[in-house]
Structure 1
Amino acid sequence: MSAARFYVSGKVQGVWFRASTREQAVGLELRGYANNLRDGRVEVLAAGDAAAIERLAQWLRHGPPNARVDRLEREPAGEDEAGDGFVCG
């Protein structure tokens, strides 16, 4: 098991980014969350299989059709931060 925190910058709020991220994460059997931040970024925490997290990271580089991802930052995270399921805040 593995965990990672992502910060996604660009046109990522108001374009169904969090809901689409949740769809992707649930399909990959990941736990965690996607939250809007006050500075316009989206924070994503994902925990689960390392290969599934990598697939989510690849998807986050582009996001849903109406999004524009300018930057994707990644840092380690603790699995215990993820909770159960995958939620949007």
Structure 2
Amino acid sequence: MAITARHLMITGRVQGVFYRNWTVATALSLGLTGWVRNRSDGSVEALVEGSREAVEQFVALAHQGPPAARVERIDSQDAAAEGLLSFEKRHSC
């Protein structure tokens, strides 16, 4: 299976609304690996890796996020796969 990786910068009301927890659960349910973290500017950053179809499905779902979130924008770009083995929350930066 070819691995696709996407780097996402998610803006809007995405901190303090369980967006990172939602990201971990959604990514794992799709069989993806990667990471997610809050950024000091109020955005959420993520790297997702897996099959092209699963990554595309994740990006589509990320526009909605958890019920309390209000996603305004997602900047998504191809990234180099890191070969990660799980999906984790990382420390804020």
TM, length-normalised to structure 1: 0.95
Map 1:1-89 → 2, pairs under 5 A: 1-80=3-82, 83-89=84-90
Q: Which runs of 5+ in 1 are unaligned?
A: none
Distance, in Å, in 2 between the alignment partners of 1:27 and 1:19 is 12
**Runs of 4 or more consecutive aligned structure 1 residues displaced over 6 Å after TM superposition:** none
Amino-acid identity (%): 34
State how many pairs are aligned: 88
Higher helix share: 1
Q: Which runs of 5+ in 2 are unaligned?
A: none
- What's the offset of the Cα at 1:78? 1.0
